[in-house]
C-alpha cells in the first residue's frame, strides 16, 4: 500500500512535488530558506501553531526586520512567554515567496526560524526520516484517507495533530511533534496513574523553545503506533510539582481554538519518528506511517 503512495507522489508535477534533502540537527528536521533575502535555516515543527524567528537572527540582521509596536505572547512547554513581534517578514521556501505577519522572536536552538503547522495546511507533507528527505504534495495527488494507518484528531483547544497510541498497553492520545527531539513527553499524572514506570529513573535536561529545564526520564517497555510495536522507548515526565504546559494555549500567534478535539497525555517526537517515513495531511488529520 505504501508503494502506491510513492508511485503517485513521484508522478506529480516536479514543480509541485520533489524530494528535497534536509539536515537532522539534534532530532529536528531543518531545511534551507531565505528570510528577507538572507539565507537561513528553518525547523519544521508540527508541535507549534505559529511561526517564529530566532533572537540570534534578529540581532544579526536588525535592519532587515520590522518590529511591531505592541508585544505578543505564546505558551511554551515551560510556560507563558511575552515577546517582540516582527511584521512583513518575506520568506522563500519550497519555491514559494511568502510574506508573513506577526512573527514572534524566541530563543530557537539549532535554526533561525520555526515553520509552524499553519504553513502545511494546504498540502500533504511527507518526511522520509531514514533517508533525510522530504516533499510537499498537492492534496489532489493522493487519497490519504483511504490508506491512513494512524488514528488522528485535532487536539482539544488547539489544531495540533494528535495521534492515538498505546503506551505499555494503555491507549492515549499524544501530539505528533516533529520539533521535539526526544521520544515521548508525557503528563506525570498519566504515567503515575497507569503505573508506567517500570525501569530506572534519571534526571535529564531537555530544551523547549525558550528555555531548558530538568525532567525525569525512564524507558517505556512497549509503544504501539500505527501497525508497529516499538520497545524500550525513552520517555520524559515533569519533575514532581513542576508545571509543564504540554498543551498549546490560545495566543496571538495561534488564535484557533477547537473545543471538540481530543485530550492529550503528551507528545511524540524524533526518537520514535526516526524509524519511519511519515505522510501527513494536517488539514484533514490523516496520516500514514511506514518503516522503510
Per-residue pLDDT tens digits of the chain, which is 292 residues long? 433 344 334 433 444 568 999 999 999 999 999 999 999 999 999 998 889 999 999 999 998 899 887 777 666 666 677 889 999 999 999 888 999 999 999 889 899 999 998 888 888 999 999 999 999 998 888 899 999 999 999 999 888 999 999 999 999 999 999 999 999 999 999 999 999 998 899 999 887 666 678 999 999 999 999 999 999 999 999 998 876 655 444 455 555 555 579 999 999 999 999 999 999 999 999 999 999 7
Give the chain's domains with CATH numbers: 15-138 (2.40.70.10), 142-290 (2.40.70.10)
pTM reported for the whole predicted model: 0.87
**Burial of 203 per CB tally in 10 Å (0-12, 13-18, 19+):** exposed
Please state the φ and ψ torsions of residue 268, each to the nearest 5 degrees.
-120, 135
CB 222 within 8 A of CB 229: yes
Predicted pLDDT of residue 44:
96
Nearby residues of 92 by Cβ (< 8 Å), 6 or more positions away: 33, 34, 98
Predicted pLDDT of residue 78:
62
pLDDT digits (tens, 9 = 90+) for 256-276: 555 579 999 999 999 999 999
CB 251 within 8 A of CB 73: yes
Predicted pLDDT of residue 60:
95
Predicted pLDDT of residue 83:
87
Give per-residue burial for 270-286: e unless 16+ CB within 10 Å, then b: bbbbeebbbbbbbeebb
The C-alpha atoms of residue 99 and residue 116 are separated, in whole angstroms, by 15
* Farthest CA pair distance, the chain: 54
Predicted pLDDT of residue 244:
61
Amino acid at each position: 500500500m505504501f508503494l502506491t503512495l510513492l508511485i503517485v507522489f513521484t508522478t506529480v508535477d516536479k514543480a509541485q512535488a520533489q524530494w528535497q534533502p534536509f539536515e537532522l540537527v539534534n532530532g529536528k528536521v531543518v531545511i534551507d530558506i531565505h528570510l528577507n533575502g538572507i539565507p537561513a535555516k528553518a525547523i519544521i515543527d508540527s508541535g507549534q501553531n505559529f511561526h517564529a524567528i530566532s533572537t540570534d537572527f534578529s540581532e544579526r540582521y536588525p535592519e532587515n526586520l520590522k518590529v511591531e509596536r505592541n508585544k505578543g505572547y505564546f505558551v511554551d512547554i515551560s510556560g507563558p512567554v511575552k515577546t517582540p513581534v516582527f511584521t512583513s517578514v518575506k520568506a522563500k521556501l519550497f519555491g514559494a515567496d511568502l510574506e508573513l505577519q506577526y512573527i514572534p522572536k524566541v530563543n530557537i536552538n539549532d535554526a533561525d526560524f520555526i515553520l509552524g503547522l499553519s504553513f502545511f495546511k494546504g498540502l500533504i507533507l511527507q518526511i522520509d526520516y531514514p533517508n533525510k528527505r522530504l516533499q510537499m504534495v498537492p492534496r489532489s495527488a493522493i487519497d490519504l484517507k483511504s490508506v491512513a494507518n494512524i488514528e488522528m484528531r485535532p487536539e482539544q483547544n488547539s489544531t495540533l495533530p494528535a495521534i492515538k497510541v498505546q503506551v505499555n498497553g494503555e491507549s492515549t492520545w499524544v501530539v505528533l511533534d516533529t520539533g521535539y527531539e526526544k521520544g515521548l513527553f508525557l503528563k506525570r499524572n498519566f504515567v503515575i496513574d497507569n503505573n508506567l514506570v517500570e525501569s530506572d529513573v534519571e534526571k535529564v535536561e531537555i530544551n523547549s523553545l525558550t528555555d531548558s529545564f530538568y525532567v525525569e526520564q525512564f524507558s517505556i517497555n512497549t509503544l504501539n503506533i500505527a501497525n508497529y510495536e516499538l520497545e524500550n522507548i525513552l520517555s520524559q515526565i515533569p519533575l514532581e510539582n513542576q508545571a509543564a504546559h504540554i498543551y498549546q494555549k490560545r495566543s496571538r500567534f495561534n488564535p484557533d481554538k477547537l473545543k471538540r478535539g481530543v485530550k492529550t497525555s503528551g507528545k511524540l517526537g524524533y526518537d520514535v519518528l526516526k524509524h519511519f517515513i511519515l505522510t501527513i495531511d494536517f488539514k484533514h488529520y490523516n496520516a500514514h506511517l511506514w518503516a522503510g
